[in-house]
A and B are shown apart, each in its own frame.
Chain A
Amino acid sequence: MISRRVQYELAGRVAAPFLTKLDQWQAARKTKHPKRPTSGLFGPPLESARALKALMTSYYLRGRYADGAVPVAWVTSGFPFEPLEQLGYFIIYPENHAALCGARKLVPKISAAAEQEGFSLDLCSYARTDLGNVLKQATPVGRLPKPDLLCCSTNICQTVLHWYRNLADYLKAPLVLVDTPFIYHASPEHHLQYVVDQLEEMIAVAEGIAGRKLDRQQLVEVLARSREGSMLWRECLATGRAHPSPWTGFDTFFHIAPIVTMRGTDKCNAYYRHLLDELRDRVAKGIGGIARERIRLLWDNLPIWFNVRELSALLAERGFNFVCATYSNAWAEAGCSIQLGEPIPSMAKAYLEVYLNRDLANRLETMKQLAREFDVQGAVLHSDRSCKPYSVGQIDVKERLASDLGIKALVLEADHCDQRLYSEEQGKTRLQAFMESFDG
């Protein structure tokens, strides 16, 4: 245990900074011979991207040595993780890991092990990626630490519960659930109480595994950092209201990683302060995410991780920029509403009322508000084949965006992670036709 702990600390304090320096040195050499073929289409790259890379490298590197050193929890992205953070858990977000695999186009290969086991191609590609990696380690980050605890909240979808029930069986790890009744218009009092009760149950289990009691005073401090991080992220996103937007919606998909995986930590907040400064500086100087912003768009649903760069180039070529996205925005919502005076009830409320746990009327309103605030002329709704909860209702939403706001909208069928479920040529053709419709 002691040597494991030493390895874990060394990974975070020595190896990760060394690798970062090495990476920066290599990057500096490469800038002498830039290879980005599409460089003329975009504004100068965000400096913060390097810090982001360093942060995420360090996170996954520490993760390699976390099991046996500290308690490890695997957690769904909407899980109220703050008590785990206070209890010293190393937290892994399988969805973030799967997104990383998706961005590197590795999902078909990793998912193959899950498909061989009998998991259908129709299931969420995050889940298939994660299960595939559990069945046959193939992660690009070296290894993921084994969980002592699995934590699942249904506030993003029911899918995660089915997925985590499988994980519990394969990994022989206990599963705690924070079930969040879906909100149709408003939620009755007992729904909130149910979440409060489950948070207390979850804390008791997590304490048992960590071998110590939750320090409720320190929990408030974690919550304060979590809230501050969410607010900083919201401010970063808000810079996209400027004309031109200092970054693209596609950039936000990558810079979201710390708010997903490290919320509640000083590192996360320091990162977003740095990013915010840079974005504000770009706004002041009129530097755009793309070179020539002509038409501003809203993106709905998860990114198409394996095609982000190709899509951004296709759009930037004609002066189209995604200046806001419901997906990135959702991460600015929950943390911001936490009230520190009543930590558990306010966590319960914040995590119950997340974007994906609310009805479509609410979603439409959020999109309309984003469309107005970011001054968009169009919207692309990614109809995500293997994410039903985010996709059902989009066809009506598209109509309503057109009729209520007079903006053009396109439903683009793809998948968040699995390129086998996307016809790139067809997607391109549809996007091109969509862009042409603005000039007609």
Chain B
Amino acid sequence: MRSAYLESQKSQQGRKLMACLPIFYPKPVLTALNICAAEVWGPPGPPRSAEAGRIQTYVCPIVRNALAFLAGRSAELADGLLCPHTCDSIQGLASVLPDFGGWAKPVIHFIHPRGPRRASTLAYLNQEIRGFVKNLEAFAGQSLDPNRLRWALELHRQIDTLAAKLLARRAYLDVDDFTLYTTLRKGEYLWPEDFFEELKRMDARLSDTVVQKGLPLLLSGIVPEPMSLLKNLDDAGAYVAADDYAAIGRRILPHADPPPSDPFAALVETYFAAPPCSTRASSIDGRREHLSRLAAARGVKGVIFHPIKFCEPELFDIPLLKRRLAELNIPVLVLESGLESELSGQTVTRLEAFVEMASNHGSQA
């Protein structure tokens, strides 16, 4: 279904198609240049080709699966590859593919600054975005029209605002987590206007009263895979009341109102205003405060850290974040997973036991 949709974006809408590695990149620029972004989060399941063997098994499965997918010719539809500089492993993948074979089409990099907002990072990001635009213009074969960029920024502002609303009012939304996340994750490949329509349809299902009766949890990680985890949570009597996934909540950007008149300034500002993320090396203190605020605002009764196996950025942050949640008397579970299609029976049992423990913890407190 995804392939058919992307095919139609090319053939019917005349758009170029960009395969995008995770996680952060200035998407409105792609939208303004009529480039449809299709993100490659693995894909989940077993590697799609033997090419995965070109990267060691102790490297995160998103990267190994992406190599298998891209070098195994499963992404023939794409016209180019966008590689944000997310972590050491993606850095390696972005070099393996063009340097040693598997990807002969254009490769565009976006190297975002690490660490806090400083004079140097502001100046750098501004220049990096301009360089990124130039490369995309060459790729798209057209110049960026500033008015079109303003239009794209406004569209993405509306998308972010609505996605933020859906997550903030999760308890009032009459759908299960699997359905909600399936919709939210369509943003990984739908043309933004189509995605906005999907979100509006979801918005129509908001009720005036709280409909979620399960145990409210906060989930934090890179990407909610395997998606069956959400069904497991549902079965165990819990739901995701607060989201801190890099693929979802951490990419919902708060936009200045009114936006800066210079669209480049708007892109820079939203980058720094984004929720804290390990892959952008936000301070641990910033992450701690963000999680505490989220947990308090949504009445969270437990937190599940859900890192992808071998993911250094996430694994490094968990100990100190756990400490903070322990201070707040919030139960925590760390659940590492790969990109398998289902959690193992043992992991599901751990999940169930955690939900039960967190429910009791709540009633005793």
Which of A122, A181, A359 meets B315, CB within 8 Å? A122
- Report the count of interface residues on A (CB-CB < 8 A): 51
Which of A117, A169, A197, A396 meets B123, CB within 8 Å? A197
Which of the listed residues A163, A165, A396, A400 has the most CB atoms from chain B within 10 Å of its own CB? A165
B58 touches A122 (CB 8 A): yes
A235 to B72, CA, bound (A): 45
A179 touches B115 (CB 8 A): yes
Q: Return the chain B residue nearest A361 by Cβ.
A: B99
Q: Return the chain B residue nearest A387 by Cβ.
A: B88
B92 touches A360 (CB 8 A): yes
Given contacts A166-B284, A181-B85, A197-B120, contact A388 B315 (CB under 8 A): no
A274 to B249, CA, bound (A): 58
Which of the listed residues A157, A159, A162, A400 has the most CB atoms from chain B within 10 Å of its own CB? A162
The smallest C-beta distance from A363 to any residue of chain B, in angstroms, reads 9
Which of B58, B92, B119, B131 meets A385, CB within 8 Å? B58
Chain B residues, Cβ within 8 Å of A389: 88, 91-92
Chain A residues, Cβ within 8 Å of B54: 395-396
Which of the listed residues B101, B127, B309 has the most CB atoms from chain A within 10 Å of its own CB? B127
A169 touches B285 (CB 8 A): yes
Counting CB contacts under 8 A, is A123 at the interface? yes
Counting CB contacts under 8 A, is A190 at the interface? yes
B111 touches A182 (CB 8 A): yes
Counting CB contacts under 8 A, is A405 at the interface? no
A405 to B58, CA, bound (A): 28
The smallest C-beta distance from B5 to any residue of chain A, in angstroms, reads 31
Given contacts A166-B320, A201-B119, contact A182 B312 (CB under 8 A): no
Counting CB contacts under 8 A, is B109 at the interface? yes
The smallest C-beta distance from A356 to any residue of chain B, in angstroms, reads 10
A118 touches B55 (CB 8 A): no
A193 to B126, CA, bound (A): 12
| Interface of chain A residues 139 through 172 with chain B (CB within 8 A) | 154, 157-159, 161-163, 165-166, 168-169
| Interface of chain A residues 360 through 391 with chain B (CB within 8 A) | 360-361, 364, 383, 385-386, 388-389, 391
B115 touches A177 (CB 8 A): yes
A120 touches B315 (CB 8 A): yes
Counting CB contacts under 8 A, is B234 at the interface? no
The smallest C-beta distance from B20 to any residue of chain A, in angstroms, reads 16
Which of the listed residues B95, B118, B336 has the most CB atoms from chain A within 10 Å of its own CB? B95
A158 touches B91 (CB 8 A): yes
Given contacts A181-B85, A201-B120, A359-B95, contact A162 B316 (CB under 8 A): yes
The smallest C-beta distance from A437 to any residue of chain B, in angstroms, reads 21
Counting CB contacts under 8 A, is A211 at the interface? no
The smallest C-beta distance from A396 to any residue of chain B, in angstroms, reads 4
| Interface of chain B residues 26 through 76 with chain A (CB within 8 A) | 53-56, 58-59, 63
By DSSP majority rule, is chain A's interface helix, strand, loop, or mixed? helix
Counting CB contacts under 8 A, is A9 at the interface? no
Counting CB contacts under 8 A, is A317 at the interface? no
B88 touches A392 (CB 8 A): yes
Counting CB contacts under 8 A, is A188 at the interface? yes
B313 touches A392 (CB 8 A): no
| Interface of chain B residues 201 through 259 with chain A (CB within 8 A) | none
Chain A residues, Cβ within 8 Å of B312: 122-124, 158-159, 162, 388
Q: Return the chain A residue nearest B128 by Cβ.
A: A190
Given contacts A393-B96, A395-B53, contact A122 B281 (CB under 8 A): no
B56 touches A392 (CB 8 A): yes
Counting CB contacts under 8 A, is A339 at the interface? no
A326 to B73, CA, bound (A): 33
Counting CB contacts under 8 A, is A184 at the interface? yes
Q: Return the chain B residue nearest A181 by Cβ.
A: B111
Chain A residues, Cβ within 8 Å of B59: 388, 391-392
Chain A residues, Cβ within 8 Å of B317: 162, 165
B316 touches A123 (CB 8 A): yes
A162 touches B278 (CB 8 A): yes
B124 touches A359 (CB 8 A): no
Given contacts A117-B319, A392-B56, contact A360 B100 (CB under 8 A): yes
Chain B residues, Cβ within 8 Å of A393: 55, 92, 95-96, 99-100
Which of the listed residues B101, B128, B278, B316 has the most CB atoms from chain A within 10 Å of its own CB? B316
A389 to B100, CA, bound (A): 16
A395 to B317, CA, bound (A): 30
Chain B residues, Cβ within 8 Å of A93: none
A122 touches B310 (CB 8 A): yes
Closest 6 pairs (CB-CB, A-B): A392-B92, A197-B120, A118-B319, A162-B316, A190-B127, A396-B100
A–B Cβ pairs within 8 angstroms, 24 of them = A119-B315, A120-B315, A122-B315, A158-B88, A158-B91, A158-B281, A161-B115, A169-B284, A177-B115, A179-B115, A181-B111, A182-B111, A190-B124, A190-B128, A190-B131, A194-B120, A194-B123, A197-B123, A359-B95, A360-B95, A360-B96, A391-B56, A396-B54, A400-B100
